[in-house]
Structure 1
Amino acid sequence: MKPAPFAYARPGTLAEAVALLGAEPGAARILAGGQSLMPMLNFRLAQPALLVDINRIADGAVLRQDADGLTLGPLVRHADLLRHCAAGRGHPLLAAALPLIAHSGIRNRGTVCGSLALADPAAELPACAVALDAELDLVSPRGTRRIGAEAFFRGIYETALAEDEMIAAVRFPPADPNWRWTCLEVARRQGDFAIAGLAAGFCATGAPAARLVAFGVAERPLRLAAAEAALTARGSDAAVATLADLDLLGGGDYPAAYRRQVLGTLLTRAAAALGAPA
């Protein structure tokens, strides 16, 4: 199939892009990497009146790391961030998650902010953003507002973005050297979306602390607060037991009980890898 007819604009600045969104609220879509949008256009699952191509906006690919953490502009590709992390910078959770995203061709074009804006519940980066308490700068003709990742994701392909807003930047806090991180998932094939996945962190320095965010099992990244408390107080077996209380997605080849079992296995493996008590 081919896309439905649409108008096309290629602004040169972020302000111009936002003005175009404001002129066509609800009818315009942002094109950055296009790895999800283009198939949706071809299948006519998305039929925008206007496509706003931001690939030429100035400073869109900013990737800055300083004492305040890591800041990524709307054109930072997965591959850009992966290279940054591979050089020993970035954040260890992002370094663990990025190689799991699809394949090299998609990582070369797909953008970090685009993945967050899409809010696929089986994607790795939304879960990482929640696990790391990332913040997103949302810009519109009305100005800029900042929102935490946990509040940003609301459901399957549903976020806090208004119809005239786009993500101008995502900010990850600096890595704490006392924390260890990993990202694990089970997918049907390498590069497929996760059937179940887990972004996990553990700190054994001082009072033990944990951060566990599941993906692929609920309508949005799922913070496992009860499992975090159980892991630090009683160990991984107790943490896995708390999963019985979760209402998980299910159906078809992957019923909720199966996803729960897989998630429990991932939690056990993550705890062992991070040095958490069994």
Structure 2
Amino acid sequence: MSALLLAGFLGLGSAAALAAESAPVTSANDTATLVTDRDAVGPDRHLRVGLRLQLKPGWHTYWINPGDAGDTPTLDVTADGGATGKGGPIHWPVPVRISEGGLMSYAYVNEVTLPEDLVLKGSGGTTLHAHGEWLVCAQVCIPESGDFTLTLPAAAQDAPEGAQAALFHKADAAMPVASPFAASVSADGVLTLSGKGLSAASVSQAWFLPQDGGVIDQVADQPLHVLDGQLTLGLKFLKTAHRDKPLVGVVVLKDAAGQESPLQIEARPVGG
């Protein structure tokens, strides 16, 4: 194979590898791009899009509930060029907890992809236009934003997964799953999960991440008690909390080996 022909093949491969990621928006704190799970789009299909944030050491950004400080990232995506569509809400991987100075933050560090589902109508390829806003914090907090453009060619049929699909698989692996356990919460803040499989042998640690702020004291200890078939976490409701409404969020169960299982719950209120 001639050097010229080889260079052509290498160039095509490189272009394909970059097809599912936009040009970056870079600051001193992070690098942001728009990514898709496929390099091309077929007619009348769904596409997964996401805001990819690669954070510098020491910096973090935020979950749907940022905690006691911070702000929730946003991503607005539209499509044109032979297809029309608008992105749905962000699907949120489980964050880490950062407790500092009497405040709790629910945050992402190192790198995170925040995915959305895009419904495309029409045929042919498309050009995606996206605007994202996010807050990054270390010793100080800095609001950041970016405008992204990504053109995807048409595929005659369903396109295979693209070069950035692994980012979406990683995000999916960090998503909470629907809890198999019945959940309730008492007026004095005892969150109870009940069901087969709960035991002191299977759960060594647990914590609750509220989907909404202004409900519990987020930095307060959450005492854990586990019996066969039942787990309780002690939460401290804020005085302004509506205790007659379901408590929505994520309970993370951690076993003795360090394996974490995040469960999406909606705990019904019980008691007076």
* TM-score grouping bracket, smaller chain normalisation: under 0.3
- The alignment's TM-score, normalised by the length of structure 1, stands at 0.27
| Structure with larger Rg | 2
The answer to which structure, 1 or 2, has the higher relative contact order (CA under 8 A, 6+ apart) is 2
- The alignment's TM-score, normalised by the length of structure 2, stands at 0.28
